[in-house]
Amino acid sequence: MHFRKLRFGVAFLAVTVALGCSHVPGERAPGPSTIASDTSAATDPKLRKTAPTSKITAPARPAGTAPSLAGRPAALPPASEEECEIDDDADRANGAEGSLSQALALCQQAQRAWQRGDLDHAIGLLDDAYALILEVDTGNDPLLIQEKEDLRYTISKRILEIYSSRRVAVNGERNAIPVIINPHVQSEIDSFTTGRERDFFREAYRRSGKYRPKIEAALKEAGLPVELAWLPLIESGYKVNALSPARALGLWQFIPSTGYRYNLNRDGYIDERMDPEKATRGAIDYLRELHDMFGDWSTVLAAYNCGENRVMRTIQSQNINYLDDFWDLYERLPRETARYVPRFLATLHIVGSPETYGLDDIVLEPELEFETVSVPKQVELRSIAQVTGIDAGLLRELNAELRQGVLPENGYELRVPLGDAARVAAKINETPDFRPRKVQVVPHKVRKGESLASLARRYGSDEKSIRQANNLRGPAALTPGRTLRIPLVDCPPDPPTAAAAANGAGPVKRPVVEHVVRRGDSLYNIAQRYNTSVQEIQRQNQLKGTEITLGQRLTMPPAAPQRAQGPAPKPRPTVYAVRPGDTLHGIARSHNMSLEQLLALNNLSPRSKIQPGQK
């Protein structure tokens, strides 16, 4: 038995999208509810002469909306068990009032048909009622306009309830995922074990040891299948900071809007989508909601990947009354989603028998164990690492939700390795407070042939910062003549003078200097530049190897202490002639000084323009 094609399809969709549906997805719709009409309309003689003398049932209107069916009789006797005939008076009535009365009676007939279980007939009657009110010309009569709109609402809401009562999927067990094998699943098994994704799968499988035990425990507590703990393997490869082109982030790959929907907050300091425990709670809530909606775990996984609305539309396009199996949808889903479910099932096959697929040589990484410490002030993770001796990388991993490696301003529950809480609590007062770095911005007029990469190299900035400062999207070429805001890398402050001791003697401490790694940098040339050694830089920054990345901030170790010999003579300024292509920032950097110093010496501002030959 198939749904009757509605004549008012486009109009119905517009109404239902605007109004939504109060039915809880996945649960059988409740029986029809009864609505009493507006009592104010009972005394209106104009409506009294044509209104049918029968009681109309309709779904309850949500709180805060317009009064239901204004102008209808207040107290109508209940309908008989037989099929209600349209009132003779209403049949004979002319114009809008008669049409609306007929539509009301059709709604009543639809109600009785629904109660009998004749859903197709109920849909057909509501179809006729909707077509009838579309032809009503209400003119400027506000009462008729209100009644027409209320009828449109009632009919649309009732159709939604009938559709929901038919269910879009059969009920499934919350603790059962059918692990089938078919050519689609076998193809993904081959890709993961012997194909181009073999290395990805092996590394993701190794990382799973860090997070899967806690995820399984949370799933058990929620009454969901523990096999879902393998879902992050195909979502993110078990990387807490995995970011997709669609801006989905974290183990469970929440986009920002879905993250907010499941209480995963984000601000300048924190993005809870990267917190494994918080994101897992959000994913459990989302998966439970999808299972209530679809009932079949394979379909739930498809909806998790491409969204419940896309899957719902695909289901409704089928010539079936309900969905028995995900594979009924397979050919109609987007390619990525169609592969998603076979990839998950392939994962379950592989991890269920790792020795069969050559994974028995992989040692899973140990579970991340931690305890928490209340930190009342704003500090950087690397500062805590330096003071306590805890590995900075491990601190970042345990507190992955910290976007910039900086604790929020109003206190934070810091995760530290198991057994280190007391040491961190004792040392936290010695940790320097975080001081936001001052961002300098200079204007640049784009010239022909320039790119974000060339501008980033020229100014010692980076492409991401330039994009963000100018709201640039996509890889489009820069337009010559456009003025861009270029954020500059922080310059280290000038060292203090040597007159620290009253007698002109005593050690002079070098201030903490930070170096931001640029293209072409290596630990060796950085050490040469700062008159130190590779080993000292590694020790200062707790680096285990020599690998560094663009944009990484390295703290330079202090140079060997010198004995102060009294105030040094003030150096004479150097005169420099501006060359084509020079910038103020570039000149300052080449002369080992800050931009502020250069501007002050030459009475310039950051927006000042310089010309070739200028001194």
For 55-118, the three-class secondary structure string (H helix, E strand, C coil) is CCCCCCCCCCCCCCCCCCCCCCCCCCCCCCCCCHHHHHCCHHHHHHHHHHHHHHHHHHHHHHCC
| 3-state secondary structure at position 585 | helix
pLDDT of residue 287: 95
Of 410 and 338, the one with more pLDDT: 410
pLDDT of residue 436: 77
pLDDT of residue 390: 93
| 3-state secondary structure at position 215 | helix
- The alpha carbon of 360 is separated from its chain's Cα centroid by a whole number of angstroms, namely 35
Single pTM value for the model: 0.51
Query: Per the structure block, which two tokens stand in for 404?
Result: 């910039």
How far apart are alpha carbons 309 and 20 in whole angstroms?
13
Residue 79 has pLDDT above 60, yes or no: no
pLDDT of residue 24: 35
Residue 166 has pLDDT above 50, yes or no: no
> Span 491-502, mean pLDDT?
38
- Sequence letter at residue 414: L
pLDDT of residue 416: 96
CB 540 within 8 A of CB 557: yes
Give the pLDDT band (50/70/90) at residue 475.
low
Residue 393 has pLDDT above 80, yes or no: yes
pLDDT of residue 543: 86
**What are the residue ranges of CATH 3.10.350.10 in the chain?**
440-559
**What are the residue ranges of CATH 1.10.530.10 in the chain?**
183-352
| 3-state secondary structure at position 308 | helix
pLDDT of residue 171: 40
pLDDT of residue 94: 52
> Span 8-31, mean pLDDT?
36
Nearest to 532 by CA among 508, 520, 551, 515: 515
How far apart are alpha carbons 415 and 394 in whole angstroms?
10
Of 101 and 18, the one with more pLDDT: 101
- Report the range of poorest mean pLDDT among 92-96, 120-124, 166-170: 166-170
Give the pLDDT band (50/70/90) at residue 222.
very high
Give the pLDDT band (50/70/90) at residue 604.
confident
Give the pLDDT band (50/70/90) at residue 111.
confident
Nearest to 330 by CA among 356, 357, 299, 290: 299
- Report the range of poorest mean pLDDT among 224-238, 374-388, 447-461: 447-461
Hey, which residues are catalytic here?
Answer: 235
Residue 320 has pLDDT above 70, yes or no: no
pLDDT of residue 535: 79
pLDDT of residue 592: 65
Strand extents, DSSP E, 430-482: 440-445
pLDDT of residue 333: 76
How far apart are alpha carbons 389 and 382 in whole angstroms?
10
pLDDT of residue 164: 52
| 3-state secondary structure at position 364 | coil
Q: If you average pLDDT over every residue of the chain, what do you get? A: 75
Of the chain, the percentage scoring pLDDT greater than 70 comes to 71
Domain 183-352 indexed as CATH 3.30.470.20? no
> Which CATH architecture does the domain made up of 572-615 adopt?
Roll (3.10)
Nearest to 57 by CA among 39, 83, 31: 31
pLDDT of residue 313: 78
Of 221 and 147, the one with more pLDDT: 221
Q: State the DSSP string of 314-355.
A: HHHTSSSSSB--GGGTGGGS-HHHHHHHHHHHHHHHHHHSTT
Residue 539 has pLDDT above 80, yes or no: yes
**H-helix or E-strand spanning residue 534:** helix 534-541
What tens digit of pLDDT does each residue of 250-289 get?
999 999 999 999 999 998 899 999 999 999 999 999 999 9
Of 547 and 357, the one with more pLDDT: 357
> Span 531-544, mean pLDDT?
83
What tens digit of pLDDT does each residue of 133-163 get?
888 888 888 888 888 888 887 887 777 667 5
Cβ-based burial of 346 (10 A; exposed 0-12, middle 13-18, buried ≥19): buried
| 3-state secondary structure at position 30 | coil
Of 265 and 97, the one with more pLDDT: 265
User: Which CATH class name applies to 440-559?
Assistant: alpha beta
Cβ-based burial of 11 (10 A; exposed 0-12, middle 13-18, buried ≥19): middle
pLDDT of residue 67: 38
How far apart are alpha carbons 204 and 257 in whole angstroms?
26
Query: Per the structure block, which two tokens stand in for 514?
Result: 């930070």
How far apart are alpha carbons 156 and 148 in whole angstroms?
12
> Span 433-441, mean pLDDT?
78
CB 101 within 8 A of CB 52: yes
Name residues whose C-beta falls within 8 Å of residue 112's C-beta, 6 or more positions apart in sequence: 79, 83, 84
How far apart are alpha carbons 273 and 544 in whole angstroms?
29
| 3-state secondary structure at position 536 | helix
> Span 525-550, mean pLDDT?
81
> Span 182-211, mean pLDDT?
95
**First and final CA of the chain: distance in angstroms?**
88
**What is the number of other CB atoms lying within 10 angstroms of the CB of residue 386?**
18
Of 384 and 74, the one with more pLDDT: 384
